Chain A
């Protein structure tokens, strides 16, 4: 109970700090993905006119990607940034990266609320299967959290880790089929994508939104087993 209070207090601090002194505050949560989306549409949509519901396809990928990349890049810095608190209050150190996960869940929830409505015009299918997003996000949070704490612990001793992460982040972004479809990848390079864990999560996230009839149960179980 006390732990939850502390988690809530820290997450609230994160939210306040992130949007302090910004004019549109919370709106950034869905304007940032929107800008990416517009860029993709301008650059890629002619290429992918064959893809059904390209906007929906790209949006779902972008949202999942930002959720992950924000958790990791904030989480990596969270422990060293909290050094003042850690040195004076007895607290479990993992609370700080965990609060970043909670913050991002909150941000994603806000963004999803808007995009669930907007995506109606881009071929979103509303069905009971959307409930699956909750356990999928839960597992994805655990995945992101574990990457974040691993890097955060290293970052305490070697600040190179935080810089390195920010540098390779775009590479991982383009290695994941977010803006393009996996069909585009030549057969002999498909292993690159198959080794990319984020790919599976994004795929999972897309199923309930685009084709709920699909047997996502089996897919879901196989991914959770692999995590």
Chain B
């Protein structure tokens, strides 16, 4: 099995300006650096083989989304090494990258172009068909969509990509049962074709259905890694 993803001691720090200075008075009276660094991830280390999928579990704010962004190449690790042997699809999170004022069609076109794809009519039709949103809906601005409809649109755009790693950040829950089943089917089909998934969810059952491996994060540290069944067990014990 070839290695698809390897993280060695990856740390991520953010610069925030909310640390010491809260007002103009603070700014004028203290000569302190207005920036403070905050470590979001520290010393994350794991590998993922091609064809296997990884679930990422942890409490809110433990750094799951930051980890996904680091792997997607959006954030550079401040320390450590990240090796990705394959193409990574853009992160699939609720409403990620959608422009609220634009219509569904305009969003499909915009996002495809930003992903580096040509928005051919065939591709747009495929996406529209997968989303099961009708022509009238897709001509409406996205701000008029329900969260389920938004999820349908983002899912459909993301799944139209040919990539080695797909990243899903807590979006499954908002689609209706029919669409969830359809997404699950698509995920399994892609997995059979040898694709990998990185999957963040707060539902351990879902993680077990999609992933064979899992990690558990706590306050930016990786505290457990192993088979998804055993990690999900541990995760349930947390609460």
Contacts and interface: CB of A to CB of B under 8 A. Distances in A.
B93 A88 contact: yes
B99 A6 contact: no
Interface string A85-101: 11111110000000000
A153 B18 CA distance: 17
Interface of B: 15, 17, 34-35, 69, 72-74, 88, 90-93, 95-99, 101-102, 106, 109-111, 113-116, 118
Given A9-B109, A157-B17, A157-B35, A90 B93 contact: no
B17 A158 contact: yes
A90 B90 contact: yes
Contacts of B111: 89
Interface SS of chain A: helix, strand, loop or mixed?
helix
Given A5-B113, A5-B116, A6-B113, A13 B96 contact: no
Given A6-B113, A89-B114, A20 B101 contact: yes
A89 to B, nearest CB: 5
B114 A85 contact: yes
26 contacts: A6-B116, A9-B110, A9-B113, A9-B114, A13-B110, A16-B102, A17-B101, A17-B102, A84-B95, A84-B97, A84-B98, A85-B114, A87-B69, A87-B74, A87-B96, A88-B74, A88-B96, A89-B91, A89-B96, A89-B97, A89-B114, A90-B88, A90-B90, A157-B15, A157-B34, A158-B17
Interface residues of A, number: 21
Contact of A86 (B74, B99, B106, B116): B74
3 pairs of A and B residues whose beta carbons are closest in the complex: A9-B113, A88-B96, A85-B97
Contacts of A86: 74
B216 to A, nearest CB: 23
A89 B115 contact: yes
B219 to A, nearest CB: 21
Contacts of A10: 110, 114
Name, among B97, B98, B102, B114, the residue most crowded by chain A CB atoms within 10 Å (CB to CB).
Answer: B114
Nearest to B113: A9
A13 B102 CA distance: 8
A192 to B, nearest CB: 28
Interface in A4-46: 5-6, 8-10, 12-13, 16-17, 20
Contacts of A20: 101
Contacts of B69: 87
B107 to A, nearest CB: 9
A156 to B, nearest CB: 9
A2 interface: yes
A2 B114 CA distance: 9
Nearest to A12: B110
Interface in A94-123: none
Interface in A185-202: none
A135 B72 CA distance: 39
B29 to A, nearest CB: 17
B95 A89 contact: no
Contacts of B35: 157
Contacts of B99: 13, 17
A20 B100 CA distance: 12
Contacts of B74: 86-90
Nearest to A9: B113
Nearest to A13: B110
Nearest to B18: A157
Interface in A141-160: 157-158
Interface string A60-95: 000000000000000000000000111111110000
Contact of B72 (A9, A84, A90): A90
